[in-house]
Amino acid sequence: AIDLGTANTLVFVRGQGVVFSEPSVVALDTKTEEVVAVGSAAKRMIGRTPANIVAIEPLKEGVIADFGATEKMIAHFIRRAQRRERRRRPYRSLVGPRVVVCAPSGATGVELRAVKEAAESAGARQAYVIEEPLAAAIGAGLPVEEPEGSMVVDVGGGTTEVAVISLGGIVTKTSVRTAGNEMDRAIASFVQREHKVAVGTQTAERLKIELGSALPLGEGESAEMRGRDLLTGLPKTVVVTGEEVGEAIGPAVEAIVGAAKNTLDRTPPELASDVIERGMVLAGGGALLRNLDERLSRETGVAVHVAEDPLECVAVGSGRYLEELGHLLSRTSSTG
């Protein structure tokens, strides 16, 4: 199963769990269009490429922004998982794997079909697509098949997806293009404005992880950061405080809380009361932002549980779906 996230792509293999996780970045040779690097090697190239190489984040805003690059990335990951499998079990004859791809929910029908085809042309025997919130809910262990409301808030890189699920389907959902990346951009522009220093989004992300919080922090935490002085053009080190980071990410946090409230507002009363009783699950890398659970819970009045491993939740859910699918398909084929 492949969790095609806007920030990270994870690959899950049946019986083994998540076997690797890499940033969703591809570096291509601009002349030949050939893949130069994928994943963390490609991410390190962002903002550092010469003219003949381009580092692309193909799923930038929660939609498939660059289809060709997405296709190359999927193919790369499927081949890598297959190589790994061949090393592990060299004597086993390998038919193409059955693949479940979890695509961002902003993807259109045409794109979903294209993702399926990309997986198939990369060697998958059969490919299926699963909706992100459903995968997140399965991964978090929620009883999605029951006639009961389960709510998930998945804060990723490009989008925040909120959904209430019942009987295996999505009843209400909200998707906003505010998530981790927007926080990084907000921090970068805050630092630029307040300290007159230019920093890249990777540095901003580090500040977010070290100092960010969705509620004001008591004591004064701070971190040193290097950037380019906007006035002199020379390197400069400045000290950024937790308070500043909190102020910068404030609007993004509000938008995420707003998406959760909005979804609850539109949820039919029976399901809403299930959610109020049982709480909601917070998943995605953004769930690791300090105090986001507490902030969400205070503003919605609903208990918030952070998924056990927020970064792997969707991949694990897609994997479980794949395993179930395996059972279902073998059952149907054995009964004809």
The residue ranges that bind ligand ADP (CB under 6 A) are 5-8, 156-158, 180-181, 205, 208-209, 212, 284-286, 288-289, 311
Determine which residue in the list 2, 4, 5, 280 makes contact with Mg ion, applying CB under 5 A: 5
Report the alpha-carbon distance of residue 70 to residue 35 in Å, rounded. Answer: 11
Binding track over 74-103 against Mg ion, x by CB under 5 A: ------------------------------
Report the alpha-carbon distance of residue 334 to residue 51 in Å, rounded. Answer: 56
Number of residues that bind Mg ion (CB under 5 A): 3
Residue 311 site contact among ligand ADP, Mg ion, none (CB < 5 to 8 Å, cut-off depends on kind): ligand ADP
- The candidate with the shortest Cα–Cα distance to 205, out of 179, 228, 171, is 179
Instruction: Determine, following the binding rule CB under 5 A, whether residue 180 of this chain makes contact with Mg ion.
Output: no
Minimum CB separation of residue 190 from ligand ADP in Å reads: 16
Type and span of the H or E element at 4: strand 2-4
Instruction: Determine, following the binding rule CB under 5 A, whether residue 55 of this chain makes contact with Mg ion.
Output: no
Residue 317 site contact among ligand ADP, Mg ion, none (CB < 5 to 8 Å, cut-off depends on kind): none
Residue 286 site contact among Mg ion, ligand ADP, none (CB < 5 to 8 Å, cut-off depends on kind): ligand ADP
Instruction: Determine, following the binding rule CB under 5 A, whether residue 156 of this chain makes contact with Mg ion.
Output: yes
Residue 97 site contact among ligand ADP, Mg ion, none (CB < 5 to 8 Å, cut-off depends on kind): none
Which C-beta is closer to Mg ion: that of 75 or that of 135?
A: 135
Q: Which stretch binds Mg ion (CB under 5 A): 61-69, 156-164, 252-260, 297-305?
A: 156-164
Alpha helices in 153-291 (DSSP H): 180-195, 201-211, 242-265, 269-278
Binding track over 300-319 against Mg ion, x by CB under 5 A: --------------x-----
Residue 157 site contact among Mg ion, ligand ADP, none (CB < 5 to 8 Å, cut-off depends on kind): ligand ADP
Report the alpha-carbon distance of residue 213 to residue 208 in Å, rounded. Answer: 8
- The candidate with the shortest Cα–Cα distance to 245, out of 188, 292, 293, 202, is 188
Residue 135, Cβ neighbours under 10 Å: how many? 29
What would you measure as the largest C-alpha separation in the chain, in angstroms? 75
Report the alpha-carbon distance of residue 163 to residue 152 in Å, rounded. Answer: 6
Residues 121/303, Cβ–Cβ less than 8 Å: no
Residue 23 site contact among ligand ADP, Mg ion, none (CB < 5 to 8 Å, cut-off depends on kind): none
Residue 285 site contact among ligand ADP, Mg ion, none (CB < 5 to 8 Å, cut-off depends on kind): ligand ADP
Which C-beta is closer to ligand ADP: that of 149 or that of 180?
A: 180
Residues 179/157, Cβ–Cβ less than 8 Å: yes
Report the alpha-carbon distance of residue 204 to residue 206 in Å, rounded. Answer: 5
Minimum CB separation of residue 311 from ligand ADP in Å reads: 5
Report the alpha-carbon distance of residue 82 to residue 314 in Å, rounded. Answer: 21
Site for Mg ion, rule CB under 5 A:
5, 156, 314
